[in-house]
């Protein structure tokens, strides 16, 4: 890839898929800045109607968009189709969220006039998208931002620009101009320039903690710019007493290996009571060995595709070897069938005896297993992380779940459900290295508009009752 263009490859085949020259940051921001006043002045009903038309355009394009997602990410076609469905559903959810989270309020106060609370858009919002859900996750920022009256510059991950381009064409065909919903081709340097640009009013980011921290640091001296960071997790799934071994194991597999483990909410650590270890791990090993790993359009349909590229596959392989070299015991080896392609088989490794387990997000199909003697130890182990995105408890009583919910530090806490698959009708975000207390999904409306408090009278009326000379 030259310095002047972005090139996208199909990870499952290595074939080139898309290329385009880099865009100019100043020109893109200027175009957005000039388009913003007219878009913000449109009635809310008009902006909502245009977003609904976008949903219809995505519906028309659903087969093509799902195929593009599958080709560009390597995820199975069935999963790409569920992502397209989430894009469409996001519009109605965002309309409801805007009304609930940023609704207008007006209170009459007799001689004191009235007081009101209304919301204004920030202006030019830059959305920096990830590669794992290249349509759904950025769309989860863009729809709320557009409804609120912002204009959007969307820079997709340089690994998934073809999906981003197709998504933005759906906005433009719906009647939202290419200046209001703007597709931007760029790499890391262009991303940094957008973050720092004086005429960008907000940064809505989904991606790694490393990049999110860099954004936060860059903007630390600029409190006027809204920043929403949705980062990763070192997420625990805790198993205590349950007779439902098959169901528990299925939930573990769904949590750890959906999307080849490339979800920020994926389970990275299985924390399990000693008394449940043999039964659960034995069944888990058996089920994992049945997982089909293949290219997106294979028959029968695979459960897992590949990871995003060969660099990611190399890092995962190196991480597995690190665990083996530092006290980890392989339950099921993670293997790479073809050195030239980024397919990995799901790995299981017992890290109980490791003296210093790395607190990092390993973005791929590798699950660490940690044995603990009791529930208190399980909760303590779950909290042994600087991240705080997602956690699940499998088994136990309602009282156990209440303890788990009260004591585990995470923004998403589930019971007898996977760590992933969060609802767009709820807030989505985490603590620590997982986010900056600006949850997305249903609460995205909160960072897409700011509240303005007013006291109002139709005519000026005032007096000073004390402290004046006659």
Give the Cα separation of 80 and 72 in Å (integer): 10
pLDDT tens track for 403-427 = 999 999 999 999 999 999 888 899 9
Confidence at residue 2, expressed as pLDDT on a 0 to 100 scale: 42
Confidence at residue 421, expressed as pLDDT on a 0 to 100 scale: 85
| Catalytic (active site) residue 456 | no
Confidence at residue 110, expressed as pLDDT on a 0 to 100 scale: 62
In 3-state terms, what secondary structure has residue 199? coil
Alpha-helical regions (H) of 289-370: 310-325
| Catalytic (active site) residue 83 | no
Question: Between the CA of residue 271 and those of 162, 274, 286, 329, what are the distances in Å?
Answer: 39, 10, 18, 15
pLDDT beneath 50: ranges in the chain: 1-2
Confidence at residue 341, expressed as pLDDT on a 0 to 100 scale: 98
- Distant-in-sequence, close-in-space partners of 65: CB < 8 Å, separation ≥ 6: 58, 84, 87, 135, 163, 166, 167, 170
Which residue in the list 10, 72, 79, 230 is annotated as catalytic?
A: 230
Closest CA to 384 of 412, 409, 354: 409
Confidence at residue 470, expressed as pLDDT on a 0 to 100 scale: 83
Confidence at residue 1, expressed as pLDDT on a 0 to 100 scale: 40
Which residue in the list 264, 295, 361, 381 is annotated as catalytic?
A: 264
For residue 58, how far is the Cα from the chain centroid? 20
Domains of the chain: 5-231+435-455 (3.40.605.10), 235-415 (3.40.309.10)
Angle at 232 between CA 229 and CA 236, to 5 degrees: 135
């Amino acid at each position: 890839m030259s310095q002047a263009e972005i090139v996208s490859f199909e990870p499952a085949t290595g074939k080139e898929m898309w290329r385009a020259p880099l865009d100019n940051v100043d020109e893109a921001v200027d175009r957005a800045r000039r388009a913003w006043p007219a878009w913000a002045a449109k009635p809310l009903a008009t902006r909502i109607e245009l977003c609904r038309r976008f949903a219809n355009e995505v519906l028309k394009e659903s087969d093509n968009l799902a195929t593009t997602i599958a080709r560009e990410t390597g995820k199975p076609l069935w999963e790409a189709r569920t992502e397209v469905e989430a894009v469409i559903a996001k519009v109605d959810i965002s309309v409801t969220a805007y009304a609930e989270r940023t609704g207008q309020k007006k209170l009459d106060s007799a001689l004191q006039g009235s007081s009101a609370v209304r919301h204004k858009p920030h202006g030019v919002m830059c959305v920096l998208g990830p590669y794992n859900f290249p349509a759904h996750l950025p769309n989860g920022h863009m729809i709320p931002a557009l409804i609120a009256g912002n204009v959007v510059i969307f820079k997709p991950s340089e690994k998934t620009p073809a999906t981003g381009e197709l998504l933005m064409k759906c906005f433009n065909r719906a009647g939202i101009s290419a200046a209001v919903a703007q597709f931007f081709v760029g790499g890391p340097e262009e991303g940094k320039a957008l973050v720092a640009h004086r005429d960008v009013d907000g940064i809505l980011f989904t991606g790694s903690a490393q990049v999110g921290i860099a954004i936060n640091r860059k903007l630390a001296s600029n409190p006027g710019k809204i920043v929403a960071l949705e980062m990763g997790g070192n997420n625990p799934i805790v198993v205590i007493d349950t007779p439902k071994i098959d169901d528990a194991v299925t939930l573990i597999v769904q949590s750890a290996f959906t999307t080849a483990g490339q979800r920020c909410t994926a389970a990275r650590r299985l924390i399990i009571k000693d008394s449940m270890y043999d039964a659960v791990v034995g069944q888990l090993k058996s089920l994992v060995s049945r997982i089909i790993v293949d290219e997106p359009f294979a028959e029968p349909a695979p459960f897992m595709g590949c990871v995003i590229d060969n660099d990611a596959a190399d890092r995962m392989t190196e991480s597995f070897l690190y665990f083996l070299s530092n006290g980890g015991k392989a339950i099921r080896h993670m293997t790479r069938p073809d050195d030239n392609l980024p397919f990995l088989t799901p790995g299981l490794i017992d890290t109980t005896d490791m003296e210093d387990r790395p607190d990092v997000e390993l973005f791929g199909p590798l699950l660490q297993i940690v044995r603990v003697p009791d529930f208190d130890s399980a909760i303590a182990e779950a909290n042994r992380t600087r991240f705080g995105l997602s956690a699940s408890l499998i088994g136990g009583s309602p009282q156990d779940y209440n303890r788990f919910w009260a004591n585990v530090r995470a923004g998403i806490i589930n019971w007898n459900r996977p760590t992933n698959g969060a609802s767009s009708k709820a807030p989505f975000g985490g603590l620590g290295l997982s986010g900056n207390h600006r949850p997305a999904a249903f609460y995205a409306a909160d960072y897409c508009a700011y509240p303005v408090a007013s006291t109002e009278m139709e005519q000026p009326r005032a007096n000073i009752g004390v402290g004046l000379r006659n």
